[in-house]
Amino acid sequence: MKRDTEQKITVEDLIRLKRAERPPAEFWATFESEIRAKQLSAIVSKRPWWDGFSRVFGVVNRHQLSFGSAAAVAMAIVGLRYMEAHRAGARAPQAAEARPVTVSPIAPLPAHELPQIVRTAAPRAQVEVASDETVSAQRPVVTAAASHITQAPVAAAPDGAARAPFADGIAITLADFREPVSDYSRPAVFGSDRDFETSIASARQQVSEPLATMDPAAERRARLLAPALPGYGSASARALASDWMRRRASSDERMYESMDRGSNDDRMLVGFRF
């Protein structure tokens, strides 16, 4: 080995020496004949039955990401819609029955006082929003739809200074949260979606007949919101709320659910009282 030479040999030079490892010329004759034979057999031989599948899967694989993401988004939307519709049906079963439309008189608010949110009523069923004395002290923002009763009390304090600064915002948020699903956006993926909801609602209607007469949504929401937002309602509403709190403490008139464990730990009793 010529160690005394000044020339520098690097690892790259040694690797490139492998370029000189080449087959002799006669090798290519054999190579050509073999490859021709293989080529002919490839032309003549029948393609396997799964070759068509592999082509299809090749196309699918090329668009794998877009198919997968589209499927995920579609499933998420369908799931959300279905869940929302199901939840709405459970909340207001009496709304599913098509009653004649009776629109309660709602006093329009001044534009500077509150932005009104009016939802279009669904054509299949509309509900009368009862205006009893419980909620008469509060002006509602009405959202009426097929399976929803959304009546968020709006700050209608006699004196504007007594209103909490963010009360309007909370009321609007609540109204938006209970926003019904519009018909045009309701998916038709599950086919007879409406029939399903109607049948469920009618079945529940028979079971919870006393509840249907109570119109619980507006009343209870008013009771709940009045103590939650100080200075929110009128004096009568606050008095009503305190009265409701007393009644709640005694657990006398309000619907509640009680859970009572039996002597054995392996069973649980759930009772509904009115």
List interacting residues with other proteins (CB under 8 A): 1-3, 5, 7-23, 27-28, 30-32, 34-35, 38-39, 42-43, 55, 58
Q: Which is nearer to other proteins, 25 or 188 (CB)?
A: 25
Q: What's the min distance (Å) between Cβ of 44 and other proteins? A: 12
Query: What DSSP assignment string belongs to 144-192?
Result: E-SS-EEEEEE---SSGGGS-TTHHHHHHHHHHHTPPPPTTTS--TTSS
- Residue 80 tokens, joined: 């959300």
In the block, which residue shows the tokens 């009618």? 202
Q: Which is nearer to other proteins, 14 or 207 (CB)?
A: 14
Cβ–Cβ under 8 Å, residues 194 and 97 = no
Q: What sign for the dihedral angle of Cα 170, 171, 176, 178?
A: positive
In the block, which residue shows the tokens 């929003």? 129
Q: Which is nearer to other proteins, 7 or 264 (CB)?
A: 7
Q: What's the min distance (Å) between Cβ of 31 and other proteins? A: 6
What CA–CA distance (Å, rounded) separates 236 from 238?
A: 5
Q: Which is nearer to other proteins, 65 or 249 (CB)?
A: 65
Q: Which is nearer to other proteins, 3 or 112 (CB)?
A: 3
Q: What's the min distance (Å) between Cβ of 69 and other proteins? A: 21
Q: Is 234 helix (H, G, I), strand (E, B) or coil?
A: coil
Q: What's the min distance (Å) between Cβ of 8 and other proteins? A: 6
Q: What's the min distance (Å) between Cβ of 67 and other proteins? A: 19
List beta partners, residue 260. 269
Q: What's the min distance (Å) between Cβ of 187 and other proteins? A: 37
Q: Which is nearer to other proteins, 66 or 206 (CB)?
A: 66
Q: Is 273 helix (H, G, I), strand (E, B) or coil?
A: strand
